[in-house]
Amino acid sequence: MVLRAFLTFFILFSLVEPGIARTRKQRRDASKRDKRTFKKAKAAYSNGRYNLSLSILKKRYDLKSAATPSGALQLAAWDYEKLGAIKNAQNIYAILIKSRFKSINTKVLRSYNKNGNADDLPDEIPEKLLTYYHKRAEMLVQIYMREYAKSSNDRRERFRKNAKRLLDILTESDYEEDDAVEELLANLERFVKAKKDKIYNTNYYGSFDYISWRDKIELVTPSGLKVNLKTSNQGYCVGGGVKFENATYVWNLGGCYAFTNATVGTSQSEISYFQKNVPVNMLMFTPGTLWKPRSGEVAIGMSFPLAYRSGDFTEPEGYTLESKVKFTYGYLLEGHWKLNPLDFVLKFGKVVGMSSSLWSFGLRYNL
């Protein structure tokens, strides 16, 4: 009985043991091969031969498989990073995170997605995982910035959100390289803001200004003598327009119709002419551009008015008035202050054919 049991065991062992021994040998050989491969690849990396390092690794391993040893995957990620193939490097880190730290990573992401922030993360996030998060975040930020122009909005947003999520997690955890993380976050936010600041928005507005200008017209006497008449005009200008603005520049197409009263007279002694409360109207079209020096609530710039002015000046019998109607142009310095939904606007400048300045101040209502 015993002998039979012993013989059975001996026969079975003789049949199986070579297989086990073969497997053990295979494993030993595989391990030796892994070590040789890794050593060669690492040497190539150290010598700056990143392509060679990668090809050595690729011959031995599938770099998209979680079964590949961590060391090989890490080295491949470094190779890709050095070669500028950031997407490939980022994918490897994603594999490492999901396969090596599956459970804790799931917990961290679940907490973040549930709260919308990193305030309630699990304790004891392994340092290695945080390092992988950092590397991956770095690469996501690079991809986001590099491919911003050619990516769709959705794709951009995905990269940005993923990067931001990892950076928030790193900021709230006890990760030792918090300065580097802070800088990365700041760079990302600066980039996002810079892109957003460049986007132009279209805004329509209505305007109401108090306006004044000094003008001149000529009175021609029956004998042909020309006498300069000065006019002082003040009143209101009602209008509107459209502006295209981003955080730094404003391009404005506006206009208004001025209803003013003028006082008309002359200082020349040859003639006596005086009129007050003369209705004078002016249609103005004022395209212009402004700059926001601190990208904020104040803008300064210039506009270039085109103006058509007409007035109900009295022509004494036998006399003629020249320049009763005038079509002219000029330049105005402008300042705008945002008092949402209003803008306070000042304008001061010169119009050709008018004897002194034209200025106005008023409000714009942004529609």
Using CB under 8 A as the criterion, which residues of the chain lie in contact with another protein when the complex forms? Answer: 212, 214, 230-232, 234, 263-267, 274, 276, 293-294, 296-298, 300, 333, 335, 337-338, 344, 346, 348, 355-357, 359, 361
Measured at the CA of 225, the angle between CA 223 and CA 227, to 5 degrees, comes to 140
In a 13 Å sphere around the CA of 84, the CA atoms on its Cβ side amount to 1
Which of residues 222 and 293 has its CB atom nearest to another protein in the complex?
293
Strand partners, 202: 244
| Phi, psi of 49, deg, nearest 5 | -100, 75
Min CB(236)–another protein separation in Å: 14
Q: How far is the CB of 335 from another protein (least distance, A)?
A: 6
What angle (nearest 5°) sits at the alpha carbon of residue 74, between those of residues 182 and 179? 10
Question: Which residues, in sequence order, are bridge partners of residue 212?
Answer: 234, 359
Q: How far is the CB of 214 from another protein (least distance, A)?
A: 6
Between residues 148 and 331, which has the closer beta carbon with respect to another protein? Answer: 331
Select 283 or 298, whichever has its Cβ closest to another protein.
298
Cis amide prior to 341 (ω within 30 degrees)? yes
Smallest distance, another protein to C-beta of residue 234, A: 6
Token pair recorded at residue 218: 């000529």
Reference 263, options 228, 226, 234; nearest CA is: 234
Is residue 81 exposed (0-12), middle (13-18) or buried (19+ Cβ within 10 Å)? Answer: buried
State which residue, 148 or 361, has the beta carbon closest to another protein: 361
Q: How far is the CB of 275 from another protein (least distance, A)?
A: 10
281 or 357, CB closer to another protein?
357
Residue whose tokens read 């340092």: 127
What is the closest distance, in whole angstroms, from the C-beta atom of residue 100 to another protein in the complex?
A: 46
| Look-up of token digits 């049991």 | 5
The least CB distance from residue 206 to another protein, in Å, is 21
In whole angstroms, give the CA distance from residue 299 to residue 334: 8
Residue 138 carries which side chain, given as an amino acid letter?
A: E
- For another protein, give the closer residue by CB, 6 or 337: 337
Q: Find the shortest distance in angstroms from Cβ 266 to another protein.
A: 8
Whichever of 91 and 268 has its CB closer to another protein, that residue is 268
CB-wise, 125 or 301, nearer to another protein? 301
Helix (H, G, I), strand (E, B) or coil at 223: coil
Burial of 48 (C-beta count, 10 Å sphere; 0-12/13-18/19+): exposed
